[in-house]
Amino acid sequence: MPSDASVRFVTTMFSKHYREAPLHMPDRFARREFGFMFFDRTFVMRHLSFPTRAALKNYLVEQVPSHAYYSCAYYEKPDAPTMAEKGWRGADLIFDLDADHVEGTKGLSYEKMLERVKEEVVRLIDEFLLGDLGFDEGSLKVAFSGGRGYHVHINDPRVMRLSSHERREIVDYVTGTDLDIDWVFPSTAFEARKYKDRVGMEYRRAMPRLEEGGWRRRMRRGIDDLLTELEALDQEEAVKRISEMLSASEKETGGKTVSGLYSDLFTGASGKRGVDRMRSDDTFEVFSQKRYGDAFLRLVEMRVKGRMKGETDEPVTSDIKRLIRLPSSLHGKTGFEVIPMRRDDLDGFDPFVSAVPRAFGAREVGVVCEKAVEVRLKDRTYSLDEGRNEVPEFVAVHLICRRLATMDVK
């Protein structure tokens, strides 16, 4: 926090929130470890437990942490000073998505960044957690982290005792790690050829079908999208796009490979176009030369898999003792509230409206901005000049926590 006046103001506002706001408690909270960070201390306070909701609320009001966490794990003795003494009894399955782990967020404004992260959270939940993995929606909870993303909690007896390694396997499935392309495109023998005293077998790869489940269906959808994207381009632009998608080593094989791949897919010089055969016959063998087919397979592995994979922070999901943000607590770097919600609430959720704490009022206070800044909070956009500005309390907290302003001491 930039100044003593800023610390005092934000601490006062945080304490007001903890006095007035209802506290959303995690399941079996008495078996959880709690941890806290503070505006005026450099260490993390952890190995704490609270027997009642009132005890935790009193702590938040009086100590006023900048960040509040609880463990995904359940312990026999959650306040024991060492992990070995706590007695681990299980843990929720947690998925953490924020801007650091989501492709396409670099260079975006804070608002646009959160929109992009939410898109991936929705896809993670709908396609993977409720879809492929078959979790029940009743066991799934979502939380806006108050900062740069969202957390997804799975509270299901089937996952509670999973080891760190088993949880990492779930992450690998979601992210497509070590996905076997030979499994996605299975090969079958279709013709034997004899040359002198040797017999060689020709193999044909099959396209995955949309009727199949899991990653085969996902890859097929991705291939169809890729082919549609390339088909809409003129030949010069499509060849350029394919070349950019392929690795440097494949581009070094020469432009003939890329142009031959394009020709087999889209020109239909020798009859039905390759793209049409792929869509109707579920066959991969549409290329006049093996190297064109190999290049397309590599294109699919690099481009399609990357587009279709889910996003999550692997260390968080595999950690069976992780501390995660406490619902209804405040994020010390934004002043936003950690908002718990169900899947149906997520689509219409706007953190710049719903995560602004109600305890932060509209009373005007003075802040000093180092440079001009614009923020949207609640029902309006605030365009502030460099220097002193009068803003509502909830805007002041947000600006100070994000280090975009300091409290005016005059």
Beta-carbon-side half-sphere exposure of residue 131 (alpha carbons within 13 Å):
15
Cα(37)–Cα(105) distance, integer angstroms:
27
Q: Which of 9, 98, 78, 44 is nearest to 311 (CA)?
A: 98
| Mutual angle of helices 393-401 and 4-20, in 10-degree steps | 120
Helices of type H across 180-234: 181-184, 214-231
List strand residue ranges (DSSP E) for 110-168, in order.
Answer: 140-144, 149-154
Residues 59, 315, 347: CA angle, nearest 5 degrees: 75
Other CB atoms within 10 Å distance of the CB of residue 339: 19
108-135 burial code (b ≥16 CB/10 A, e <16): eebeebbebbbebbebbbeebbebbeeb
Active site residues: 96, 98, 313
Other CB atoms within 10 Å distance of the CB of residue 85: 12
Phi, then psi, of 46 in degrees rounded to 5 = -140, -165
Cα(184)–Cα(212) distance, integer angstroms:
11
